[in-house]
Amino acid sequence: MNSTSIRLIEPSDGPALAGLLSRDKQAYARWLPARPTEFYTPGGQASVIESLLASHAEGLAWPGVVVSDETVIGQVTISSILRGPFQKGFLGYWVSSLHQGLGHTSRAVGLAVRIAEDELNLHRLEAHTQLENLASQAILRKHGFSSWGIAHEHFYADGAWRDEVFWERKLTGRPAS
């Protein structure tokens, strides 16, 4: 079995992420928003990473990469972190099509849940999946997420508005700080 880990994203991850995203652009068109051509280049990813790390420095996100055997194979991010009475974040993730079906995504989600609870001290995590994304829904269920509703025509991808299932997981019972 290949190992799976996650770590904070680094500027040097740009070329690897650009290669994976460029390679899977058509395969993921159904699931991800359209992006300008620059997004799929090392320079475009450098800009994205810079923005993600700025959000991390402000405490608004934990942007990570999924790593297998020392190779970057995807991303996992806890974003839109709200403090005060909410103490929550939004979980997003993807793994290259070359590495799907090997348990990497599920292990990465499990590791991200631990970071959300143990390092970020969040009370809850939320996520969205498109209605047809049964694999991602199974991963969220495996890690204790429950669906709580469907947003119709919530997300625009591949030329159409897509329905999405909303997911939540309570992490702690700690009081808000």
Question: How would residue 19 be classed by pLDDT, with cut points 50, 70 and 90?
Answer: very high
Question: Could you read off the pLDDT of 135-167 as tens digits, one per residue?
Answer: 999 999 999 999 999 999 998 888 889 899 999
CA distance 117 to 120: 6
Is residue 74 a part of any domain in this protein? yes
Is residue 64 a part of any domain in this protein? yes
DSSP code for 120: S
Query: What are the two backbone dihedrals, phi and then psi, of residue 75, each rounded to the nearest 5 degrees?
Result: -135, 155
CA distance 126 to 26: 27
Is residue 37 a part of any domain in this protein? yes
Is residue 133 a part of any domain in this protein? no
Range of the domain at 35: 5-125
pLDDT(28) > 90: no
Q: Which residue has the tokens 């991200």?
A: 112
DSSP string, 150-167: EEEEEEEETTEEEEEEEE
How many domains does the structure of the chain reveal? 1
Question: Could you read off the pLDDT of 36-88 as tens digits, one per residue?
Answer: 889 989 999 999 999 999 999 999 999 999 999 999 999 999 999 999 999 99
Q: What is the dihedral of CA 38, 54, 87, 91, to 10 degrees?
A: 30
pLDDT(174) > 80: no
| Inter-residue contact 149 to 168 (CB < 8 Å) | no
**How far, in Å, are 53, 73, 97, 127, 139 from residue 167 at the CA level?**
25, 24, 23, 5, 11
At 155 the pLDDT is 86
Is residue 116 a part of any domain in this protein? yes
